[in-house]
Chain A
């Protein structure tokens, strides 16, 4: 059985615990064991990364070393965390000097990083560890063709070298999973664009504008909901629908394991479905079979 340590990050455990819970229960159902990485620290994405590279590598290096100590690869469910940990790993692995510096800091706790550990985002796990046939066979309650829009987080799928992505390839994994679960993935303009979350701290109004553009396009494409795979994206795409003028109908925003879970026969409560800010009831209503 494949095992991972879950690097929870800052945002998911506090703002989106249902994502964390749904990830664990869905992966378990598919034969992958996930345990939390405790006593970790922030990965330093964006903020520390922009200000001081050595400090950024020191933060990432500790997370990598903690996982090595557990003897398991890292699973991250946030695009910022997975992106920054992959980036930190690349920079630390590339140069011995950098590694020595990081390990010097880690020695105080008796930790050491030796390049062994791998960093995966949830989407990588679906791409690499779970065969589509296995997933197909595990579906007990198919969706009856509900139209869903995939939102790929920039920092986990964009075609640049840290993200394990083949050059020029557009991500398809969420669309594929929507289809396997019985849904109908929809195309929409701005599909590959950002949700706006990374600029929230700099310019909230502008971030909202970027997010709403996406929501409008998804609505125009006739989708009942959006499937996300990043804590920041999910919160942002929900949040923007509550600001300013009252929205007549909100587009349901769900994380990938929350969308997939019910089709695997997992109970809504275990997936924290009632904690979602946007109601997923229309989507869940299209599930077939006994529930």
Chain B
């Protein structure tokens, strides 16, 4: 059987398909099973099919400016049900990559990343004497400090230089 590619062609799709993971967008027929399965989609504005459709019609700016690709929790439930083998989490990952290139990163992500790389971990400020007492009571070690020298090296190598 000769198969015909029915995916609409746009420069945005071409841009995505050159990135690993992005090529999977070509399999999407926008059937909406992803949205029907998505835990986040029920009762919210988040709608994976809508993002896929916007990508398919090449609405680049609207996709990159949207917070929606950042709401994908990479739970991969939609990928279990997708009949066409689209890996939506991968597609959104590529979309986020492009958004990052244009400096469009949600504040929540920026803050968490800064904390992790500066402190070595996420919970330094939340670790109180009260928790240390609980740990002691449970017979667990109370020195939780993580290696921040290394994460700061990582920060200066990959982030501060804009890399």
Chain A interface residues (CB < 8 Å from chain B):
8, 10-11, 13-15, 17-18, 20-21, 24, 36, 38-42, 44, 46-48, 50-52, 54-55, 58-59, 62, 105, 108-109, 154-155, 158-160, 190, 192-194, 196, 198-199, 201-203, 206, 209-210, 213, 270, 272, 275
Contacts and interface: CB of A to CB of B under 8 A. Distances in A.
Given A38-B143, A202-B67, A108 B153 contact: yes
B31 interface: no
Nearest to B114: A47
A17 B76 contact: no
Contact of A11 (B105, B109, B123): B123
B93 interface: yes
B84 interface: no
Nearest to B139: A21
* Interface footprint category on B: 35 or more
Contact of A206 (B44, B75, B77, B145): B44
B33 interface: no
A54 B39 contact: no
B139 A48 contact: no
Closest 3 CB pairs of A and B: A154-B75, A198-B73, A21-B138
A199 B147 contact: no
A52 B105 CA distance: 12
A47 B116 contact: yes
Contact of B158 (A54, A154, A201): A54
Contacts of A58: 154, 157-158
A15 B109 contact: no
Contact of A201 (B108, B140, B141, B151): B108
Contacts of B79: 158, 160
A41 B150 contact: yes
B146 A154 contact: no
B75 A158 contact: yes
Q: Is the interface of A mostly helix, strand, loop or mixed?
A: helix
Nearest to A162: B76
B34 interface: no
Contacts of A210: 39-40, 42
Interface in B21-80: 39-40, 42-44, 46, 67, 70-71, 73-77, 79-80
A59 B154 contact: yes
8 contacts: A42-B120, A47-B112, A105-B153, A159-B76, A194-B75, A198-B74, A201-B108, A203-B71
B134 interface: yes
B153 A36 contact: no
B146 A39 contact: yes
A201 B138 contact: no
A19 B154 CA distance: 30
